[in-house]
Amino acid sequence: MNKILGLFLVLALLIFQGCKKEERLTIAVGGAPSEVEYLEKLIGEFERRTGIHVVLRRQPTDTDQRRQELVIALKAGERDPDLFLMDVIWVPQFAASGWLEPLDGYVRESGISLSDFFSGVVEGVDRYDGKLIALPLYVDGGLLYYRKDLLERYGYAPPSTWEELVKQSKKVQRAIRKRNPSFYGFVWQGAQYEGLVCNFLEFAASRGGGIVDSLGRLTIDRPENTEALRFMRDLIARYGISPPNTYTEMKEEEVRLFFQRGDALFERNWPYAWKLHQAEDSPVKGKVGMALLPSFKDGRHVSTLGGWHIGISRFADRKKEAWELLRFLISEEIQKRLLLDLGWNPGRRDVYSDPEVLKEVPQAEVLQSIFERAIPRPVLPFYTRISEILQKYLNSALSGDMEPDEALKKAQKEAESVFSLYEKK
C-alpha cells in the first residue's frame, strides 16, 4: 500500500512539475555577469507589470558557447527557451534553419513602427526571405579606451595611428613598470574565439584588407591581412606591449578587468566596458577616455559591427507572451534605460535624441562615429564555420606556432572547402 502511495506521490510531483514548466515563459540570456544581473531585475519588473512569469536561463559570457547551447535545444525542437538573444552573426544561420518565428504579424498588431529603428540593421540583419525574424536589442562596435591621466602625464594625445599607440605604450610601460611590474601598454581579445576574429577584422580592414570581397569571394590569404596579423603578433612578441596570455586567455571580461585594475594604458573593447570602468569601486573611475580605434598610417579607422538581437523560437509554446517580453525589451523606455545603465546602444534611433540621453551620455558623439565606421562580418548562414577556421589559424599565428602568411594560406584553403560544400547544397 505504501509503495502505491509513494508511486502516486512521485507521479503527482512529476505532473505538477510538468505543468509548472508549461506555465513559464523562458528566456535565454548571457553576457558579462553584471549585465545578466541587470536583465534579471528588468525582467522582474516585466513580471510585476504584466503578471507573466518568466524563467531566465543564464548563459555564459562567451558568444560561441552561448550559440552551442542554443543550437542543441533548437535542433532538438525543444519548447524552451521561448525566446533568446542572438549575436548578430548567428541570425542568418538561425533564420536559414527555420528556428525563428516570423514577427511581422506581431509588429503590425502592436502598431510598432519599424522606421524608429536603424533601417540598415533591421533590413540587413533581421529580415530573412522577406520576413522579419528578429529585432535588435543593442548594437556594438569595437573602440579604444585609454588612460586619460597617464597620457596627460607623459604629454600624449590619444593615438590616431597604431604606430603611435606602440610608441606611447612602450614609453609609458617602461616608466610604470618600475613600480608596477604587471603593467602593459595595450590589452585586446586574442583568445581562440569569435572576439579574436572581430579584433583581426579591425586591424585587417584598417590596413585595406578583409576576408570577403564585394563579389562575395573569400580573400583571407592576401598581403594586407598578413601584415595586419603580423602586427598583432608583434604587439605581443616584438614590442612586448600586450601580455603573453593575450592568445590563451584574453576575452572581453579578462581584458576589461585587466584594464580596470589599472594595469594597462590602452584597451580594445565594446561599449559595455565604459559603465563598468566608471563604477564607484573601479580603480580607474574618472581616468578613462574613449576614442575610435587607431588606423595604420594612411589606413582607415574601423570597428567591427557587433550586437545582439532577440528572436522567438519557432518551437516556443508561449509565443504570445514571448512577444510581450520582446516588445517590452525593445520599447523606447527600456532601450533608454539599457543605454543609460549598461551602456548598450539602442538599435532604435529615437533614443539618441532624448534630452536626458544627450546630457547623460557624454561619449554619444564618439559612439555615433564608431557606428558610422563599423563594418559587418560576412552575412552567411555558415559564417560560424568560417569563423572557427579563422579562430584556429589566427590564434596559431599569435602564439608563434605558425607564420602569419602560412596560417592565412591554410585558413583560406579550409574556408574554401566549406564555401564549396554549402554552395553545392
Q: Give, in order, the Cα–Cα distances in Å from 17 to each of 21, 23, 77, 152.
A: 6, 10, 20, 61
Q: What angle do CA 303, 307, 312 make, to 5 degrees?
A: 160
Q: Which of residues 39-78 bind ligand GLC (CB under 6 A)?
A: 63
Q: Give, in order, the Cα–Cα distances in Å from 372 to each of 144, 301, 304, 323, 376.
A: 15, 10, 11, 30, 11
- Residue of the chain from 30, 195, 210, 311 that contacts ligand GLC (CB under 6 A): 195
Q: Could you give the CA distance from residue 232 to residue 238 in angstroms, rounded to a whole number?
A: 10
Print burial letters for 336-359: b (CB count within 10 Å at least 16), e (below 16). bbbbbebbbbbbbeebbebeebee
Q: Please report, as a single letter, which amino acid is at residue 77.
A: G
- Provide the minimum distance between the beta carbon of 256 and ligand GLC in the complex, in angstroms, as a whole number: 12
Q: Which of residues 390-409 bind ligand GLC (CB under 6 A)?
A: none
- Residue of the chain from 88, 143, 380, 394 that contacts ligand GLC (CB under 6 A): 88
Does residue 141 interact with ligand GLC by CB under 6 A? no
- Provide the minimum distance between the beta carbon of 273 and ligand GLC in the complex, in angstroms, as a whole number: 11
Does residue 306 interact with ligand GLC by CB under 6 A? yes
Grid cell at residue 409: 594560406
The window from 86-94, 179-187, 201-209, 276-284 that contacts ligand GLC (CB under 6 A) reads 86-94
For ligand GLC, the closer of residues 62 and 416 by Cβ is: 62
Q: Could you give the CA distance from residue 361 to residue 352 in angstroms, rounded to a whole number?
A: 9
Listing DSSP states for 143-207 in one string gives EEEEEHHHHHHTT-PPPSBHHHHHHHHHHHHHHHHTT-TT-EEEE---SSSHHHHHHHHHHHHHT
For 35, other C-beta atoms within 10 Å of its C-beta total 21
For ligand GLC, the closer of residues 63 and 412 by Cβ is: 63
User: Could you tell me which residues come within 8 angstroms of residue 378 by beta carbon, excluding any fewer than 6 positions away?
Assistant: 211, 212, 386
For ligand GLC, how many residues bind (rule: CB under 6 A)? Answer: 13
- Residue of the chain from 190, 209, 294, 307 that contacts ligand GLC (CB under 6 A): 307
- Residue of the chain from 54, 198, 288, 334 that contacts ligand GLC (CB under 6 A): 198
Q: Which residue is nearest to ligand GLC (CB)?
A: 306
- Residue of the chain from 270, 274, 382, 393 that contacts ligand GLC (CB under 6 A): 270
Grid cell at residue 382: 555558415
Q: Give, in order, the Cα–Cα distances in Å from 173 to each of 151, 169, 230.
A: 11, 6, 21
- Provide the minimum distance between the beta carbon of 259 and ligand GLC in the complex, in angstroms, as a whole number: 16
State the residue for C-alpha cell 580592414. Answer: 205
Site string (161-190) toward ligand GLC, x via CB under 6 A: ------------------------------
For ligand GLC, the closer of residues 294 and 307 by Cβ is: 307
The window from 87-95, 103-111, 292-300, 402-410 that contacts ligand GLC (CB under 6 A) reads 87-95
Site string (242-261) toward ligand GLC, x via CB under 6 A: ----------x---------
Contact 166, 235 (CB under 8 A): yes
The window from 1-9, 40-48, 116-124, 193-201 that contacts ligand GLC (CB under 6 A) reads 193-201
- Provide the minimum distance between the beta carbon of 6 and ligand GLC in the complex, in angstroms, as a whole number: 49
Q: Which residues bind ligand GLC (CB under 6 A)?
A: 63, 87-89, 140, 194-195, 198, 252, 270, 306-308
